[in-house]
Amino acid sequence: MEFKSLDDLRSIAEIKPAFAKLTRDQKINLWLSALDREPTRILQPLPEIEWIAPHQRAFLRADGSPLTIAFDDPALRAAGLMSDRLGDGLAFFEMTEAEAHDTLCSCRYGRTMTAMAAARRISNLRSGGVFSGLKHWVIQHWHGRPVM
């Protein structure tokens, strides 16, 4: 087998990524599809995101969380989702910590949730959803503090 650098290959062939970059809405729609396959499945929320030290939040995960469902989906993994940890979910789905808190935290669901309940909240992440920048601005200024 002969080794060729990527630059060498580009000189003799057109190289295209296996998957085109997905938009945020496309990623979220794939996540919703994964959740919709088992709407009554019992999931675990992420435990009290707001109480985890900011430098440790990226590593937060829970077995059987909505992020686990996303990571188990082959299309989302192929598109670049690296794990079911909060930090990877934030980066991949282009979520703010406030959006993650509203959609994934145990303080919003209690100890468990159904995939259908998680999907309802996650669907609000799509463009024009409940989590628009204006909503965050209003909440921040209403409470006089940053939204978590």
Which residue would you say has higher pLDDT here, 133 or 28? 28
Instruction: Please give the pLDDT value at position 68.
Output: 97
Residue 139 has pLDDT above 70, yes or no: no
Instruction: Please give the pLDDT value at position 110.
Output: 84
Question: What is the rounded average pLDDT for all residues in the chain?
Answer: 83
Using the 8-state DSSP alphabet, how is residue 85 labeled? S
Dihedral pair phi/psi, residue 116, rounded to 5°: -65, -40
- What's the Rg (C-alpha) of the chain? 18
For range 91-99, the mean pLDDT: 93
Least confident of 58-67, 80-89, 127-136: 127-136
Are 73 and 34 within 8 A, CB to CB?
yes
Residue 136 has pLDDT above 60, yes or no: no
| CB-based burial label for 145 (10 Å; 0-12, 13-18, 19+) | exposed
pTM of the model: 0.74
* Count of residues making up the chain: 148
- Per DSSP, the residues of 11-61 read HHS----SSPPPPHHHHHHHHHHHHHTSTT-EE-PBS-GGGS-TTTGGG--
